[in-house]
Structure formats: C-alpha cells, structure tokens
Amino acid sequence: MAAPIARPAGKVGRPGYDLDSLLAVAVTVFNQRGYDGTSMEHLAAKLGISKSSIYHHVPGKSELLRLAVDRALDALFAATEQPDTTTGPAIDRLENLVRRSIHVLVAELPYVTLLLRIRGNTTVERRALTRRREFDHIVGELVQAASDEGSISADADPDLTSRLIFGTVNSLIEWYRPSRGLGAEDLADAVVKMIFDGLRVS
Amino acid sequence: MAAPIARPAGKVGRPGYDLDSLLAVAVTVFNQRGYDGTSMEHLAAKLGISKSSIYHHVPGKSELLRLAVDRALDALFAATEQPDTTTGPAIDRLENLVRRSIHVLVAELPYVTLLLRIRGNTTVERRALTRRREFDHIVGELVQAASDEGSISADADPDLTSRLIFGTVNSLIEWYRPSRGLGAEDLADAVVKMIFDGLRVS
C-alpha cells in the first residue's frame, strides 16, 4: 500500500513499517490504552520509531483511528451487499448477515473491537458511529422484513430484536480469541443456531 | 447506612452524602472516565465536597470500587440461590437464572456496567474477576446439567453455550436504558425467548 518507512538510525535490524503494519500496532495500543489515553509518543515508543517516522505516513493519530474503524466498517458493509444477504427470504438474508458479520469479527478482531468501543468524542468517532447506525438500520430492516414475511414472530419488536441479535454477535469480542482453536465457521454455527433456533430441544 | 457527612463551609444548600449516595456518584464517574482515569480530585469535584469529606467515609477510591462491584456481584450470586434457580429441571433453573440476572442488570445497571468493564489491574479488580468466574462456573454447570438431561442439544459445547448466553445478557449494558420505557420483565421475556426458543417461527 505504502513504501516501508526508513529505519531510524541506530536501530539496524528493527523492521520498517508500511502503513498496514503500522496501523496494526496502533490499533493494539488503542485497544490497550484507549484511544483518548494514547499519545503519538506512546505509539512511537511501541513501534520503536520516531514520531516523525509516523508522520511520514499519517498526519496524526485521528487518521490512524479513521483507517482502523473504516477497515472494520467497510468489511461489515461489504457483508450487507453479497448475493446471499440481498436476495431470498429475509430470514435467510438476516441469518447470512449474522454469519458473515461473525466472519468479519474473527478476521478483523482488533479493528472491530476498536470500532465497538468508540464513544463519539471526536469527529472521526462520530462519523464511525453514524456508519454503525446505518449498519444497524440495515439489520433492523431485515428483521422487519422477516417479521412481515412471517418467519419471525410478530410479537418480537424489530428494534429490540435487532439489538439482541447484534448484542450477541458484538459480545464475542469480549472473550473470543482465534488462537484458542475455535474457528469462525464453528463459532458462527453456534451463534446462528442459538439466535434462530434456540437452545431448547423441543 | 452511615451518617450524612457535613456540608462543606460556604456550600449551604448543597445536599450532604451518605455512603450509598456517594457511591452512586462515584460509580457514574468511574463509568464515564474509567476507574484508572478517575482521581479522588475528580470525585470531589463531581460531588462538590472536599476530598477529606470523602475520606470520612472510605479510605480511598479502591474501597468505592470494591463496594460498587460487590453490590453487583452480591445481587448476581443471590440470583443463583433462589428456589427457582436451585430446584427443578436444569433447563428451567438456567432460564430462571438468565431472567433474574437481567432483573439485576436493570436494577443495578451502573454497578453491573462497572463490573463488566473491569480489566484486572488492581487487587480489588482481580478479586471481582475471580467472583465473576465463580458465577460463570455456576452457569456452566447449569448448561452442562441441561445438556445431560437432554433439554439442550448435546452438540452444543457447554462452555461456548455459557459464553453465548451471558454474552447476550451482558451486551444489554451497551444500549439498555430504563428511562426509555422497556421494563425489566419485557426485556427478560424477549431475551429468554430468543436464547431458548430462537427467533425463527418453525
């Protein structure tokens, strides 16, 4: 994406960073310290490079935040535009969107984690929250359509149902770690089964 | 519980605090700023009293944290010790525990929110995390018992199922606000219905 940045003098052997690898480290630090609690000094120290080397790639930490949350949001919006989330019965489109969102969460875990912890203190954060609401709106419309077609109980309030579905999906960031051996597909199977069919053997 | 503390000189008309009302304000500040980001100065400023007035009640902010998270934990453990969570089929005990946990979450929302955001940086936090794991263990045993009695599919891994159930319950703190008119019982009904029976009309 971008050329590797020069290694700082006296740090021979330390790898250079391109924008993607710099972003990956920045996101880790943001998730550990919180975005507000992270300074360019913290990032430079963690990266083992100078602040000016970071400024070679981005004008400041807000641009790193923007790139990070957009990576998560772009992947989630891409999930809403697939054949299996845009055609067919609404209940199937909804299930497929849940399944694809879990795959995004697993593939982009630090980026989705950062996105879900945003509180809206800056322009970049507020813009990300606006995009999150657009995504929630798409989910809400699918739930409403599934209710209209009779595949979800009409008793279930669509807004509440949307919140419960994505509350369950989003809660995965609190404990899921790919290294522990549970794959994205098995995770998605378990979540989809609970949400759509329930745990109880009837 | 404790006698109201003296109003600071020159602040006639500002209410005094007893320990419970002082704790309620402290928990709000902890949830807004993060526990690590909150100093005794922040608390004194928000309360409109001097630091020494706070020290009249507690030796420091870690004691406020301990009281706050124990309030949430005590309520959750009390839920595990009721007749309807200790007798009868495991699937019913589990459903009742989920229902009672949602009532605790609604009744003690700021305290449960603080509990769920704890990361384990201090002794008080690590002790709270240990108690949370004990609660999770009780849930895990109920899921296993429900699986053993055949009321939950044997395909469902009990550990994963426990995490999904309480992931869904815990995610409520992200959006649920009692002021918006959805009561605890209706919320519990919707969550229990999705988790145990699923959204799909079969």
Task: Tell me the mean pLDDT in the region A56-80.
Answer: 96
CB-based contact B116:B170 (threshold 8 Å): yes
What is the rounded distance in angstroms from the CA atom of residue A65 to the CA atom of residue A35? Answer: 8
Q: Can you give the residue ranges of every domain in chain A?
A: 19-62, 67-197
> A154 pLDDT band (50/70/90 cuts)?
confident
Q: B147: helix, coil or strand?
A: helix
What pLDDT score does A13 carry?
44
Chain A positions touching B194 (Cβ under 8 A) are 156, 161, 164-165, 195, 198
A198:B194 CB<8 A:
yes
Which residue from A161, A167, A202 is facing B168, i.e. has the nearest CB? A167
Cβ–Cβ contact A181 with B under 8 A = no
> A180 pLDDT band (50/70/90 cuts)?
confident
Of the residues A136, A169, A199, A201, the best mutation for testing chain B's interface (the one with the most B CB atoms within 10 Å of its CB) is A199
Q: Going residue by residue through chain B (202 aa), what tens digit of pLDDT does each one get? A: 455 544 444 444 445 899 999 999 999 999 998 898 899 999 999 999 999 999 999 999 999 999 999 999 999 999 999 999 999 999 999 999 999 999 999 999 999 999 999 988 899 999 999 999 999 999 999 999 999 999 998 788 999 999 999 999 999 999 999 888 899 999 999 999 999 999 999 7
- pLDDT tens by residue, A2-35: 455 444 444 444 458 999 999 999 999 999 988 9
Gap from B199 CA to chain A (nearest CA, Å) = 5
Cβ–Cβ contact A199 with B under 8 A = yes
B164:A198 CB<8 A:
no
What pLDDT score does B15 carry?
59
Domain boundaries A19-62, corresponding CATH code: 1.10.10.60
CB-based contact B101:B79 (threshold 8 Å): yes
What pLDDT score does A34 carry?
87
What pLDDT score does A15 carry?
59
What is the rounded distance in angstroms from the CA atom of residue B186 to the CA atom of residue A106? Answer: 32
A157 bridge partner residues:
none
Angle between helices A19-33 and A109-117 (to 10 degrees): 50
What is the rounded distance in angstroms from the CA atom of residue B55 to the CA atom of residue B70? Answer: 20
Cβ–Cβ contact B182 with A under 8 A = yes
Cβ–Cβ contact B161 with A under 8 A = yes
CATH architecture of B66-197: Orthogonal Bundle (1.10)
Task: Tell me the mean pLDDT in the region A40-65.
Answer: 94
Phi/psi of residue A66, nearest 5 degrees: -60, -45
A164:B165 CB<8 A:
no
> A67 pLDDT band (50/70/90 cuts)?
very high
Residues 6+ positions from B154 with CB-CB distance below 8 Å: B147
Domain boundaries A67-197, corresponding CATH code: 1.10.357.10
A91:B193 CB<8 A:
no
Give ipTM to 2 decimals: 0.88
Which residue from B150, B167, B201 is facing A174, i.e. has the nearest CB? B167
What is the rounded distance in angstroms from the CA atom of residue B51 to the CA atom of residue A20? Answer: 47
Interface of B with A in 30-59 (CB under 8 A): 34, 37
Cβ–Cβ contact A21 with B under 8 A = no
pLDDT reading at A41 higher than 80: yes
A198:B195 CB<8 A:
yes
Tokens describing residue A120: 């809206």
- pLDDT tens by residue, B92-125: 999 999 999 999 999 999 999 999 999 888 999 9
What pLDDT score does B16 carry?
80
Gap from B57 CA to chain A (nearest CA, Å) = 30
pLDDT reading at A152 higher than 60: yes
Cβ–Cβ contact A197 with B under 8 A = yes
CATH class belonging to B1-58: mainly alpha
> Residue B164, Cβ neighbours under 10 Å: how many?
25
What pLDDT score does B10 carry?
42
Chain B positions touching A142 (Cβ under 8 A) are none
